[in-house]
Amino acid sequence: MACIFCRIVAGEIPAEVVLREPDVVAFLDIQPLADGHVVVVPRAHVALLEELEPAAAEALFRAVVRLARPVREALGAAGTTIGVNNGEATGQTIPHVHVHIVPRREGDGAGSVHTIFPRGARRPLGEVGEAIRRAAGGLT
Ligand code: AMP
Ligand code: ZN
């Protein structure tokens, strides 16, 4: 098994595990962006969020919600940034879905998710909304 996260889930390589459930494992990031930086992973090896089975997706996000407060409180943080690099083009380095929970403090020097994108001209919202609704099979 080559995937690092599959190996952590299987207990083959060590990690500082903070939650272990039937479908989800959460552990400290080995190169934390802040103290208490946790990654939450499904047992199922899929690269992208949209490849998760519904039950695995539910278990994953239930675990993220369950951990958000303890991670924040344990580190005395003011909030958490919760994010997913979803695909290689986004900077995802390990092709096994994982949700980052990063404790945040006032003045920690990190930005919001808005700061990772350049500002610029955008297509009209109505046009883009229509394209997404069509791709999603008629969402309203
Ligand atoms: P991403 O860039 O979204 O794919 O994030 C992958 C994360 O996994 C990075 O923040 C790494 O520091 C973290 N990571 C890589 N190997 C390990 C490991 N063995 N144990 C814990 N975290 C890891
Ligand atoms: Zn994997």
Summarised one tens digit per residue, pLDDT across range 80-94 is 999 999 999 999 999
What order of strands is seen across the sheet that includes strand 17-20? 17-20, 24-28, 38-42, 99-104, 79-83
DSSP 8-state class, residue 137: T
Question: Which ligand ends up closest to the CA of 87?
Answer: 1
Mean pLDDT, range 106-120, rounded to an integer: 94
DSSP 8-state class, residue 109: S
pLDDT above 80 (res 140)? no
Mean pLDDT of the chain: 96
Cα separation, 140 vs 45, whole angstroms:
32
pLDDT of 120 reads: 87
Q: Are 60 and 97 in contact (CB under 8 A)?
A: yes
For a mutational test of ligand 1's pocket, the pick from 6, 8, 9, 39, i.e. the residue with the most ligand atoms closer than 8 A to its C-beta, is 39
Architecture of domain 4-115: 2-Layer Sandwich (3.30)
Q: Where are the domains of the chain?
A: 4-115
The pLDDT > 70 percentage for the chain reads 99
3-state secondary structure of 133: helix
Instruction: Give the predicted TM-score (pTM) of the model.
Output: 0.96
Q: Is 94 in the pocket of ligand 1 (CB under 6 A)?
A: yes
Residues carrying an active site annotation: 98
Question: Which ligand ends up closest to the CA of 3?
Answer: 2
Mean pLDDT, range 45-51, rounded to an integer: 98
Mean pLDDT, range 49-53, rounded to an integer: 98
Distance from Cα 114 to the centre of ligand 1, integer Å: 22
Distance from Cα 7 to the centre of ligand 2, integer Å: 7
